[in-house]
Amino acid sequence: MDLRIPVWQFVRIMVELERRASGRAGGTGSVYDEWRDAWAELDTRLTDLGDRDARAFSDLMMEQEVVVSCRSSHLPEVRRTADTLVRKMKAEVRNEADAQRKQDLRFEIRELETFARGLAKRQKKAPNDPGIR
């Protein structure tokens, strides 16, 4: 199945998966391994835009989506990662003094929670859907 993920969420998820993957041997069958090429391409593009075009960087990060193929067996891993990010950001909100940063984090939390709920629905449906690998 294909997942459409806003770029900023994909970045958050991949950074978290990358953090977990460091120190592990490759070829673990994780969603990180499946999405690594898309991540590398996007990271290169974001780095390039960040160096030369702030407006295009912002547009890509906040207004665009990544479409990645996702096995139904990977949905739980992606959902757990989103849930982990939400917990970390909620802790960050509690310790954050800057009002704008708190507001930004709350927005991200709401969006990631919505994403995780959508994954949960797909996960429940996946075993009964022969079109989902």
Estimate to the nearest angstrom the gap between the alpha carbon of 97 and the chain centroid: 26
Q: What is the pLDDT of residue 26?
A: 53
Average pLDDT over residues 6-28: 84
Least confident of 19-33, 74-88, 89-103: 19-33
Contacts of 27 (CB under 8 A, 6+ apart): 33
Token couple for 107? 């927005």
- At 50-82, the pLDDT tens digits run 999 999 999 999 999 999 999 999 999 999 999
User: What's the farthest any 2 CA atoms get from each other in the chain?
Assistant: 49
For residue 130, what pLDDT is reported?
Answer: 42
pLDDT reported for residue 22:
75
Per-residue pLDDT for 36 more than 70?
Answer: yes
Which pLDDT band, with edges at 50, 70 and 90, does 131 fall under?
Answer: very low
